[in-house]
Amino acid sequence: MVGNLFHDFIYNPKDLRTLFKKNNWKTIVGFQTRNPIHRAHEYLLKCALEQVDGLLINPIVGETKKDDISSEIRMQCYEAMIDNYFPKEHAMLAVYPAFMRYAGPREAIFHALTRKNYGCTHFIIGRDHAGVGNYYGTYDAQEIFQNFESNEIGIKLLFFEHAFYCKRTNAMATSKTSIAKNYEKIFLSGTKVREMLQNGESLPPEFTRPEINKILLRYYKNEK
């Protein structure tokens, strides 16, 4: 099924390494995701990309939770984001044909190691990586890497805090870069996003790009 849906985005590790070399990317950051991409993701990706030659958006397209948006729709969102907001000579999309285990910190290690095998030199670990509900601590998946020496994993980890749109500065930020009060921050929970889309409401542009909002609204109107 994965092969039929995403034929143009399937690469084995050897193929990706060859492509990175062809692009003259000596340093590559990988990004793991199972959700539609939004402005907070975009912010993290661009911060990471400032430090390396290339970005690999590498979403899971195997089985996830039943209430997750389908991988086909999510892929449309990733394509729209790259097409409209990233330089193609520094960013690419390839599927990760696995399923989510929701194992939190241990799965974060697994994701980092597999992206190293794909040829990435760096990997992003954000808040609640591979978490489910409130079972794991918000940054447990980052803290587990303190148990390893820097050369044990063989890939550099980039840790990020929760990002939000700051109304005080009219820009994306985290608590490290903004002194905004809670009422000056715009971020939406997954539950709130689904509720708005199910009601036919557009997501605010401070949360997601209009191209992504259009794809998600069309999906919910047709299939929900």
Of the residues 4, 12, 17, 34, which is catalytic? 34
Model confidence at 223: pLDDT above 80: no
Instruction: Indicate the SS3 state at residue 137.
Output: coil
SS3 assignment, position 149: coil
**Closest to 6 in 3D by CA, of 57, 80, 75:** 75
**CA torsion 81→93→166→130, rounded to 10°?**
130
pLDDT number for residue 224 = 54
Catalytic pick among 17, 23, 35, 194: 35
Q: Quick one: pLDDT band at residue 25, thresholds 50, 70, 90?
A: very high
pLDDT tens-digit readout, 114-173:
999 999 999 999 999 999 989 999 999 999 999 999 789 999 999 999 999 999 999 999
pLDDT digits (tens, 9 = 90+) for 63-75: 888 888 899 999 9
Sheet of 28-31: strands edge to edge? 91-93, 54-57, 28-31, 122-125, 156-159
What Å distances lie between residue 175 and 74, 100, 113, 208, CA to CA? Answer: 28, 29, 29, 20
Q: Which CATH superfamily is domain 2-163 in?
A: HUPs (3.40.50.620)
134 is catalytic: no
What's the rounded Cα separation, in Å, for the pair 89 and 97? 24
Q: State yes or no: is 35 an active-site residue.
A: yes
Note the pLDDT of residue 3.
53
The encoded tokens of residue 112 equal: 């980092």
